[in-house]
Amino acid sequence: MPNKTVEALIEGGKATAAPPLGPALGPLGVNIGQIIADINKKTSGFKGMQVPVKIIVDEDTKKYKISVGTPPCSSLIIKEAGIEKGSSSPKTDKVADLKIEQIIKIAKMKEDSLLGKTLKEKIKEVIGTCRSMGILVEGKPSVDAVKEINEGKFDKEIREEKTEISAEELKELEEEKKKLAKEMEERREEFITNAKEIISKMGGKARGEIKAKLVEAEIPIVIIDELLPVEAKPDEEKAPEKKEEGAKPEKK
Residue 195: CA count within 13 A, CB half-sphere: 21
Torsional class of 169: left (φ above 0), alpha (ψ -120 to 50), beta (otherwise): alpha
**What is the SS3 assignment for 11?**
strand
Cα distance between residue 207 and residue 205, in whole Å: 6
User: Where do the H-state alpha helices sit in 48-166?
Assistant: 73-81, 100-109, 119-133, 142-150, 155-159
DSSP 8-state symbol, 59 = T
Closest CA to 51 of 72, 26, 31: 72
Predicted pLDDT of residue 237 = 46
Return the closest-CA partner of residue 187 out of 83, 81, 94, 86. Answer: 94
Question: Do residues 73 and 126 lie in contact, with contact meaning Cβ atoms separated by under 8 Å?
Answer: yes
Task: Give the N- to C-terminal CA distance of the chain in Å, as an integer.
Answer: 86
Q: Does domain 73-165 bear CATH number 1.10.10.250? A: yes
Would you state the pLDDT for residue 233?
52
The C-alpha atoms of residue 86 and residue 74 are separated, in whole angstroms, by: 8
User: Across all residues in the chain, what is the average pLDDT?
Assistant: 88
Torsion, Cα of 109, 113, 119, 124 (10° steps) = -100
What is the spatial distance between Cα 2 and Cα 56, in angstroms, rounded to a whole number? 10
Q: Any idea where the domains of the chain sit in the sequence?
A: 3-68, 73-165, 180-227
Nearest residue to 184 (alpha-carbon basis) of 144, 134, 145: 134
The pTM score is: 0.66
- Please count the other Cβ atoms lying within 10 Å of the Cβ belonging to residue 223: 18
Would you give the DSSP letter of residue 134?
Answer: T
Q: Which CATH class is domain 3-68?
A: alpha beta
DSSP-assigned beta bridge partners for residue 9: 52
How far is residue 193's CA from residue 208's CA, in Å, rounded to a whole number? 20
pLDDT at 249: 52
Strand-pairing partners, residue 52, are 9
Tell me the range of 33-42, 69-78, 217-226 where mean pLDDT is highest. Answer: 33-42
pLDDT digits (tens, 9 = 90+) for 34-61: 999 999 998 887 777 778 899 999 989 9
**Stretch among 90-94, 103-107, 238-242 having the lowest mean pLDDT:** 238-242
pLDDT score, position 230: 73
- Which residue type sits at 136? L
